[in-house]
Amino acid sequence: MSKVVKAKYTAEAVPGFTHRTALEEAARCLLCHDAPCSKGCPAGTDPAKFIRSIRFRNVKGAAETIRENNVLGGSCARVCPYDNLCEEACSRCGIDRPIEIGKLQRYAIEQEKLFKMKTLKAPSKKQAEKVACVGAGPASLACAAELAKAGYKVTIFEREEKAGGMLTYGIVPSRLPQSVVDHDIAQVKGLGVKFVFNTEAKAEDLEAFDAVFVGTGLWDANLPKLKGAELKGVYSAVDYLKQARTKKKDFDPGKRVIVVGGGDVAIDCAVTAKLLGAEDVRILYRRTIEEAPANINEFHYALSLGIGITTGLYPVAAIGTKTKMNKVEAVGFYDKKAKAEFSCDALVFATGQKPEDQSAYGVDVNEKGFVKVKKGGKAGGKFFAAGDIVNGGKTVVEAVAEGKEAAASIIAYLEKKGVK
Amino acid sequence: MAVKKDLSLKYLGVDCLNPFFLSSSPVGGNYDMVAKCYETGWGGCFFKTVGIFVADECSPRFDQTNKEGLPWVGFKNMEQISDKPTELNFEYMYRLIRDYPEHITVASIMGSSVDEWKKLAKMADEAGAKIIEGNFSCPQMTSHDMGSDVGTNNELVESYSRAVAETVPHIPFVAKMTPNCKNMEEHARAALKGGAAAVSAINTIKSITNIDFENNTGMPVVDGKSSISGYSGAAVKPIALRFCTQVQQDEEIQRMAKEGKWNFGHGHEMSGIGGIETWRDVAEFLAIGCRNIQVTTAIMQYGYRIVEDMASGLMHFMDEKGYDHLDEFIGCALPNLIPAEDLNRDYKVLPAFDEKKCIGCGRCYISCYDAAHQAIDWNEKKRRPELNDNCVGCHLCLNVCPVQGCITPGEIKWKVRDENGVAVREANDATHIKFKKDARKEKKLALKAQYE
C-alpha cells in the first residue's frame, strides 16, 4: 500500500520557515550583484533586497520591501510559479538548487502579521479625484493600493460578498488559506480604500468617478462540447471551488470525482475533492504531462494525496439521470480510437475561463471578449483595465504587475487632466 | 580495510594512546562522564579543575554566538571550577586512574595561596595523577586570588608553580595560560622558572557575546544582570593558534625546556587548546608544535563521539602524507611562520577566473570594488567579471567566490624595482631578481607547485 499524505482542506499543506530555518535559507543566498531573481519578478517584489534583509536580521525591513512592492505579497508567496520566475533566475541554480524565495517571502509576511506591522500608509493630504475599480481581484487590489498610496480616493465594487476574486473563490485553501488572503486585503483596506460588496457596478455607478479601472477577471467557464453537460454533477472549476469555499459543510464534493484539465486550477479542484472526502479522484488531461501548464510540484502534491492522473483522454459524454450522473465517456486525444468509461458522480471542467459581458464599462473587447488596452492598461478615456480580463488569464503576480502599471497610467492621466 | 595509524605519543614522558584530551571543564566532571569519554576513544582528560574553594554557580550560565543561522560559532560560559567537594573529585580521579590505567587522567587544580596549591598537589599525587595542570586562567572566578588575574601576575605564577613542583617533584606540572594578557611568553617563562614542565593554552577569552535588550544587559541574563566571562569554540581557534605559536617560537622558553628536568628531546611540550572540532584542527595544533590537544566546546555541542572522526581523519591525513607517527609532523609549520617583514614581497599572484564555473553572482565584483582595488569590471550582458590592470593580487575575490574552484590563483607577476627598492613595473618572470645561485629556480618552482 502506498503511503499517501493526509491533509486538511483548510490547513496550509506546506509548513513555513522558523526564524532559524529562514536564516539558514537566507544564508544560502549569494546576494548577487544586480540580482537576477529581482529581475525575474513581474511585480517587482525585489527578492534580492528582502532576502538580504532577512540575512542581516532585519525581518521587518524584509516585510516592508515585499509589502511596498507587492500589496498581495502574502498570497503571491503561496501561489506564484517561482520555478518559472525568480527561482528559475536564481544564480544559485548554477551550484545546486535555487533559494526558496517564495517560502522566505511567506516567512517575512508571517512576521509582518506577528509584529502587527502597518507598512503601507496613505498620505493625509488627499487628491481631489476619485477612482473606481470594478472587481476586487488581484489586479484591482494592486491598482487600488497604488492609487491610495498616491492619495487618491478609491472605491472597489465587488459583486461577491468578499474581496480577493480568484484568491478567495478559486484556489484550494490548503494552498492559499483564507487568512492569508484576508491579511493581504486588510493592507488595502488599511490604505482607506472603500469596498462596496454584493454590487455589480453599472455604467451609472461609475459616472461620478474621474477614472475607472476594470479588473473584472474571467468568471465564465470555458466548457467543451459535451453530451449531458446539463446534468447535475457537472461543474465548472470556478463553481466547484467557490461552492466548496462558501457552502463549507453543506458542499458535497462527490464520491468519484473526475477533474478535466491540466492546469493549477484542475489540481486545485482535485485536491479540494480529495481533502473534502471524495473516495476516488482522478485528473483527466487530454495531452501529456510535459504539455500541462500546471507546476510539476503541484502534480507531485496531487499524486502524494492519492489523486490519479490520466493523460491522453478527453470526455465526450456525461451519462446519468437529471438528478445524478453516474459515468463519463472519454476518447483518445492522440489516438482517436481509444475509448474509456469512468464511473463518476462529479465531473469538473477546469478547462479555462472566458470573459463575461463587459459592455457596462465603456471598454472595447476583442473577438474573444477580452478587453483591448494600450500600454499601461489604457482602455480609452477614463477607462483602464488589467489582469485576466485583459491578458486572457495568467498568474496572480502578473495581475499585480499589470494593476500597478495601470495605476501609474491612471495617475498620469489624472495629473494631466488636473493641469488642464 | 580501514586505514590504521599509530596515534600514540609521549607527552611529558607519559605514554598516551593519542593526543586527544578533554580540557578541564564541565565535560569531564565526574567518574561516569570521563569513563564514557575513554570508552569513546579519548586518550585522556584534564579533570574539571578542583580547588579548596568550591564554586557556587549561577543560572543560566551559557550563551553562544552565531552567524547566518550557523549556531555555536563561539560559546560563552560563566562556570567556575568544580562545584563538588574537593575530596569527592579526587576520589573520582583515583578511581579513573585505577580503572583506566592506559588513559591519562590529569588533575587540574587551582589554589588561592601557596599552601592551598601545595595541599591540592599532594592530594593529586595521592590520587595517582601522572600529570598535574595548574589553572592560572579561568576568567570568571569570583575571587581575584584565583583564575586569570593570577595568570598575568608573573610572581604568583612562578611561586604557585614552584609550590606544586616542590611538593610533587616527580610529577610534571602544566601551567594553563590565559589569553587575556599582553604577552603570553613572559607568563609561560615565569611558570617554567617556577618549575612547571610546560604550559597549555588557551583558556577562554573574556567576552560579552550578545546584549539582551529586554534587560539591557549581556547574555546570559541572571536576575537582570550579566558578567564578562570566557569565550571559546571555533571562533577562538585562530587566536589560540597564534598564542601557541608564539610560545613555541620563544627561544627562551625552548631553552628553559631543554635545560629543565622535563626535557624529553622535544623541546617545550605545549598542550594546545581552543576551538578544536575536527582532525584538521588537531593536525594544525600539532603542526605548530603542540604534543597534546584539549577539547571542550565541541564536546558540549556534539558529545564525546567527535573523537571518532578526529582519530580516523587524522589517520587518513597521515596516510595521505606518508607519516607513520605524529612525531613526524609535530612542529612542521613552526619554521614557516615568520615575521611579516621577512615575507617575500617580490611578486603578486593574479586571480584566474573559470568562465564555465562562474555562475554570474557578481560577489567578486562587489567586494573588489567596495573593499579592494576596483580591479574587476562587471560585464552586465554576460554577467561575468573581467579583471583589469588594477589588480594587486590580494585574493579577496577568491575568498568571497561561492563556487568551488571558480576563482583560483593564476598568473604570477614579478615586481621590477629601481635602485631604491621601489617597484616601478611588472615582469612575467623573475630573471631580474637576484636570488642566490639556483635559489631563483627553486623558489619559482616551489611557488608554482604551491599554486597549482
Question: pLDDT digit string (tens) for B134-154?
Answer: 999 988 888 888 888 899 999
Compute how many other C-beta atoms are within 10 angstroms of the C-beta atom of residue B249. Answer: 17
State the Cα–Cα distance between residues A249 and A251, nearest whole angstrom: 5
Average pLDDT over residues A397-407: 97
In a mutational test of the B interface, the residue from A91, A93, A96, A100 whose CB has the highest number of chain B CBs within 10 Å is A91
Q: Which of B70, B359, B365 sits opposite A91 (nearest CB)?
A: B359
A116-146 pLDDT, tens digit per residue, is 999 999 999 999 999 999 999 999 999 999 9
A230-274 pLDDT, tens digit per residue, is 899 999 999 999 999 999 889 999 999 999 999 999 999 999 999
Confidence of residue B430 (pLDDT cuts 50, 70, 90): confident
State the Cα–Cα distance between residues B199 and B177, nearest whole angstrom: 7
Q: Cα B14 from chain centroid?
A: 22
Closest to A239 measured CA to CA, from A388, A334, A111, A348: A348
Boundary of a domain, candidates B280, B304, B336: B336
Q: Which residues of A touch B68 (CB under 8 A)?
A: 23-24, 26-27, 55
Active site residues of B: 138
Q: Which of A27, A32, A36 sits opposite B69 (nearest CB)?
A: A27
Q: Which residues of B touch A100 (CB under 8 A)?
A: none
The residue count for chain B: 452
Is B321 part of any domain? yes
Residue A420 has what pLDDT?
Answer: 59
Please return the burial class of B290, using the count of CB atoms within 10 Å of its CB with bins 0-12, 13-18 and 19+. buried
Mark whether B184 and B89 lie in a shared domain.
yes
State the Cα–Cα distance between residues A47 and A65, nearest whole angstrom: 9
- Window 73-132 of A: residues touching B by CB (8 A cutoff) are 91-95
Average pLDDT over residues A330-345: 92
In a mutational test of the A interface, the residue from B66, B68, B382 whose CB has the highest number of chain A CBs within 10 Å is B68
Domain membership of residue B315 as a residue range:
9-336
The three three-digit cell numbers of residue A314, written as one number: 478527453
pLDDT at residue B68 is higher than 90:
no
> Could you give the 3-state DSSP secondary structure of residue B324?
coil
pLDDT at residue B450 is higher than 70:
no
Cβ–Cβ of A32/B365 closer than 8 Å? no
B20-29 pLDDT, tens digit per residue, is 999 999 999 9
Is B4 part of any domain? no
Is B2 part of any domain? no
Residue of chain A whose Cα is closest to the Cα of B380: A34
Cβ–Cβ of B359/A24 closer than 8 Å? no
Average pLDDT over residues A318-330: 90
pLDDT at residue A340 is higher than 60:
yes
Question: What is the number of alpha carbons within 13 Å of residue A134 lying toward its C-beta?
Answer: 29
Mark whether B394 and B414 lie in a shared domain.
yes
Mark whether B196 and B309 lie in a shared domain.
yes
Lowest mean pLDDT segment, chosen from A305-314, A343-352, B1-10, B362-371: B1-10
Domains in chain A with CATH codes: 19-114 (1.10.1060.10), 130-218+355-419 (3.50.50.60), 221-353 (3.50.50.60)
State the Cα–Cα distance between residues A385 and A343, nearest whole angstrom: 43
Model ipTM? 0.83
Lowest mean pLDDT segment, chosen from A287-291, A329-333, A356-360, A380-384: A356-360
What values do phi and psi take at B88, rounded to 5?
Answer: -65, -45
Average pLDDT over residues A108-118: 97
Q: Which residues of B touch A (CB under 8 A)?
A: 68-71, 359-363, 365-366, 378, 380, 383, 402-403
The residue count for chain A: 420
State the total domains in chain B: 2
Mark whether B298 and B352 lie in a shared domain.
no
Mark whether B250 and B379 lie in a shared domain.
no
Mark whether B258 and B376 lie in a shared domain.
no
> Could you give the 3-state DSSP secondary structure of residue B204?
coil
CA A291 to chain B, closest CA, distance in angstroms equals 29
Average pLDDT over residues B40-66: 95
Residue B441 has what pLDDT?
Answer: 61
B231-280 pLDDT, tens digit per residue, is 999 999 999 999 999 999 999 999 999 999 999 999 999 999 999 999 99
pLDDT at residue A205 is higher than 60:
yes
- Residue partners of B405: CB distance under 8 A and separation at least 6: B354, B357
% of residues, chain B, pLDDT over 70: 96
Q: Are strands B290-295 and B20-22 parallel, antiparallel or unpaired?
A: parallel
Across all residues in chain B, what is the average pLDDT? 94
Q: Which of A26, A33, A95 sits opposite B366 (nearest CB)?
A: A33
A258/A10: higher pLDDT: A258
Cβ–Cβ of A34/B362 closer than 8 Å? yes
Mark whether B353 and B261 lie in a shared domain.
no
Residue B452 has what pLDDT?
Answer: 55
Angle between helical axes of A237-247 and A264-275 (0-180°, round to 10): 40
Boundary of a domain, candidates B314, B336, B358: B336
> Could you give the 3-state DSSP secondary structure of residue B45?
strand
State the Cα–Cα distance between residues B297 and B303, nearest whole angstrom: 9
B180-211 pLDDT, tens digit per residue, is 999 999 999 999 999 999 999 999 999 999 99
pLDDT at residue A109 is higher than 70:
yes
Angle (CA) A78-A388-A214 rounded to 5° is 115
Q: How far is CA B295 from CA A215, B42, B236, B239, in A?
A: 66, 10, 12, 15
